[in-house]
Amino acid sequence: MDLEAILDGVFGDVSDHIGEGKVADYIPALAKIDPRKFGMAVATVDGGIVTLGDAGEPFSIQSVSKVFTLTLALGRVGEGLWKRVGREPSGTPFNSIVQLEHEHGIPRNPFINAGAIVVADTLLSGHEPRETLGEVLSFMRHIAGDETIVIDREVARSEQQTGFRNAALANYMFAFSNIHNPVEKTLGVYFHQCALSMSCVQLARAGLFLANRGRLASGHSVVSAERARRINALMLTCGHYDASGDFAFRVGLPGKSGVGGGILCIAPGKAAIAVWSPGLNANGNSAAGTRAMESFARRSGWSIFG
Binding site for its own copies (CB under 8 A): 86-92, 96-102, 108-109, 164-165, 167-172, 174-175, 183, 210-213, 225, 228-230, 232-234, 236-238, 242-246, 248-249, 252, 254, 266, 268-269, 303-306
Q: How far is the CB of 303 from its own copies (least distance, A)?
A: 5
Q: How far is the CB of 19 from its own copies (least distance, A)?
A: 27
Greatest CA separation found in the chain? Answer: 54
Rg (alpha carbons) of the chain, rounded to whole number: 18
* Nearer to its own copies (CB atom), residue 32 or residue 102: 102
* Nearer to its own copies (CB atom), residue 59 or residue 190: 190
Task: For residue 254, report the phi and psi dihedrals to the nearest 5 degrees.
Answer: -60, 135
Q: Would you call 241 exposed, middle or buried from its count of C-beta atoms within 10 A (0-12, 13-18, 19+)?
A: buried
Q: How far is the CB of 261 from its own copies (least distance, A)?
A: 22
* Nearer to its own copies (CB atom), residue 47 or residue 182: 182
* Nearer to its own copies (CB atom), residue 60 or residue 166: 166
The answer to whether residue 63 is catalytic is: yes
Q: How many CB atoms lie within 10 A of CB 165?
A: 15
Q: What are the angstrom distances between the C-alpha of 280 and each of 112, 134, 260, 263, 299?
A: 17, 30, 8, 11, 23
Q: How many CB atoms lie within 10 A of CB 226?
A: 10
The answer to whether residue 199 is catalytic is: no
The answer to whether residue 259 is catalytic is: yes
* Nearer to its own copies (CB atom), residue 15 or residue 171: 171
Q: For residues 73 and 122, is the Cβ–Cβ distance under 8 A?
A: yes
The answer to whether residue 22 is catalytic is: no
Helix (H) and strand (E) counts in the chain: 13, 10
Q: How far is the CB of 249 from its own copies (least distance, A)?
A: 5
Cα distance between residue 89 and residue 177, in whole Å: 23
Cα distance between residue 24 and residue 41, in whole Å: 22
Q: How far is the CB of 294 from its own copies (least distance, A)?
A: 11
* Nearer to its own copies (CB atom), residue 192 or residue 270: 270
Q: How far is the CB of 250 from its own copies (least distance, A)?
A: 8
3-state secondary structure of 256: strand
The answer to whether residue 66 is catalytic is: yes
DSSP single-letter state for residue 242:
G
Which of 42, 189, 241, 256 is labelled catalytic? 241
Which of 60, 63, 199, 295 is labelled catalytic? 63
Residues contacting 220, CB < 8 A, separation 6+: none
Alpha-carbon torsion (32, 293, 189, 145), positive or negative: negative
Residues serving a catalytic function are 63, 66, 190, 241, 259
